[in-house]
A and B are shown apart, each in its own frame.
Chain A
Amino acid sequence: MYGISVSGVSKQFDGLPVLTDVNLSVRTGEFLSILGPSGCGKSTLLRIIAGLEEPTSGDVVIAGRTVTRDPVWKRKIGFVFQHFALWPHLTVLRNVAMGLELRGAGKQERRDRALAALRLVQLESFADRMPSQLSGGQQQRVAVARAIVLEPAVLLLDEPLSALDKNLRQDMQVELKALQQKLLLTTVFVTHDQEEAMSLSDRIVVMNRGVIEQIGTPEQIYNRPASPYVARFVGETTFFEGELEHREHGTFIRSSANGYIPLEADSSQTQSDRIAFVRPEWVTLHKPPYSEKRMWPVGKIERVIFFGATSDYLVRQGDSLIRVKAAGANDCFRRGDEVELQFAARLLPKR
């Protein structure tokens, strides 16, 4: 049973394609993020699911019911907007209770259920305030309470944390995830922040120019990206382009710019012109000479970036600047040091 399924959805604005043949299924109770840069169509997709936009073609099914032609108010959705969108002329309680009021719930029931929803976001004591008297984080929590009070089939969030500052955003992420798991809400979360998507989601949809590039768990997206675009958008990446070459010690990708770059063991394909990539934490640095067979590429530390708990090195290797995460306190290199880079790059699937 799927909470939401989107099939063959396309959308054009003034003849320009914003979404092209999008197919997506969200399992009941799943937390799914739609990740992509601004203008990739992620918000449009969410708004089509909500009914705030109509698709040019394709269908939307929510909880087993085709809702493509249904107006917003007939779909069982909760929606959280980027800029909170609380009604400024109503108290917090009445903001949350509006949906119940529209369903004709009695006064006592409205109050009880709205207060219960506010309790879930720890704002019960703010019920009688006006929205303008709350901080941004509190306002967004009220918006969440308003969205869940009707027990919707799906919860849709359009970059709900991007208007908050960093510390608050991280707290809200934890709260939101806890709430989602407690209520087992089918959730679609639109964001341009890859860390947010990684830490919250069961699965992530990576979008680019109105097309889904990849759907997968955060682990799959990070470690097995389906395209250079995904590899570049999620996490730090260094790419190597060249021809595959099998040698005595393993497989390499060879180019005039970087020389021989070692590939992971199962890279047995033999096509030429391939792209491989490496993540900062896959690389271990050694003082040369480390390996006698000169199997690892050699580079020079160009910059040390200190973050406090960790630091990164930018290592010049051939034409590339490879970002490397320092392994621990004992591996300390300085700018200008020569290093051997021990790693195995991963091939990206051929398109």
Chain B
Amino acid sequence: MTSKNGLRAGAPLLILPAVLILAVFFVVPLVWIVMLSFMTSEPAGTTEPHATLANYTHFLTDSYYLTDLLWRTVWLSAIATFFAVVIGYVGALVISRAPEKRQPTLMFLNMCPLWVNLVVRTLSLMVLLDRDGPVNHILMALGITSHPVQLLFNESAVLFGMVQMSVPFVVLSLHGVLKSIPRELEHAAMSVGANLFATFRRVTLPLSVPGILAGSILALGINMESFVVPILLGGGRVRFMSVAAYETATISNNLPFAATIGLVLLVVTLTMLGVYQRLVGSMSRVSIALRSA
């Protein structure tokens, strides 16, 4: 009894290492970034320790930063998320309908890309989309185009890359939800005259909305914050918040303004995810009902 109580009393201590690591390596740098964003930088690159709103005013009043950078980041991420969810949904549906014993293998295959280094994965996409790459060869062989098409270093390439990055996460979050929908609910729809499409539209799809929302939150978060994909597949021609922050910090040597870009991205992302989370909350009625069914 003593040992049990002792364990219970000591249990909070067990999270101490995690708290410490987060505090030292996450909270402290974040606070430093916040402070940094209120400073200015001399042309030489030294940081002036005076609190000022200049960086934010600069960002929020310049249409280049607002529309060309922030809006493009949000917009591209949203489109990529949409495609990732559609593609991921189909994948998750196929996996959840596969024979029970084959599902772990299929899920493993789905997660496989995540074990590969992000840069390596993106570089392989560059090989694929190169002027002399297999995609161009196939397009020419099919007679769709007579000469190689520029597939890299544009928004489509970045979109393609972001979709490829986020699909496995969408599959992961949808697979569980789709599996938890009893097949009987679909069979019941068929018994009252619903064909496969009507069954999907009226039963499977509405019941998987919580999974769609969870999957898109994940995908949107990943896409908004993605860096390797836009910098490599965009080839410096596609403006993206993370790339801009990186270039501001390294090339322009303006750390305070880079911090500002990063923080704006963080706040916008969190706001969007927060709104989404509210939606999920109101949808949770469905998932609760589903669990009790």
Contacts and interface: CB of A to CB of B under 8 A. Distances in A.
Contacts of B191: 50, 72-73, 77-79, 147
B187 A98 contact: no
B68 to A, nearest CB: 42
B198 to A, nearest CB: 6
Interface residues of B, number: 23
Given A79-B188, A146-B188, A88 B193 contact: no
B190 A73 contact: yes
Contacts of B184: 81, 83, 85
Interface stretch (B8-16, B57-65, B162-170, B199-207): B199-207
Interface string B204-248: 001100000000000000000000000000000000000000000
B198 A88 contact: no
B185 A98 contact: no
B192 A131 contact: no
Given A83-B182, A85-B185, A87-B203, A132 B292 contact: yes
Interface in B240-293: 286, 288-290, 292-293
A1 interface: no
Contacts of B189: 87, 98
A220 B182 CA distance: 39
A113 B101 CA distance: 44
B289 A79 contact: no
Contacts of B193: 73, 99, 102-103, 150
A298 to B, nearest CB: 55
Contacts of B182: 83, 85
Contacts of B195: 71, 73
Given A52-B187, A130-B289, A132-B293, A89 B192 contact: no
Contacts of A132: 288-289, 292-293
Closest 9 CB pairs between A and B? Answer: A99-B192, A88-B289, A79-B191, A72-B190, A85-B184, A85-B188, A88-B293, A102-B193, A132-B289
Interface of B: 182, 184-185, 187-195, 198, 202-203, 206-207, 286, 288-290, 292-293
Most buried by A among B192, B207, B286: B192
Nearest to A139: B293
A86 interface: yes
A150 B289 CA distance: 26
Nearest to A50: B191
Interface in A129-173: 130-132, 143, 146-147, 149-150
A79 B187 CA distance: 9
A169 to B, nearest CB: 20
Nearest to B195: A73
Nearest to A103: B193
Nearest to B199: A73
A81 B189 CA distance: 12
Most buried by A among B188, B195, B198, B290: B188
Contacts of B187: 52, 72, 79, 81, 85
Interface string A78-111: 1101011111110000000011001100000000
Most buried by A among B182, B184, B290, B292: B184
Contacts of A79: 187-188, 191
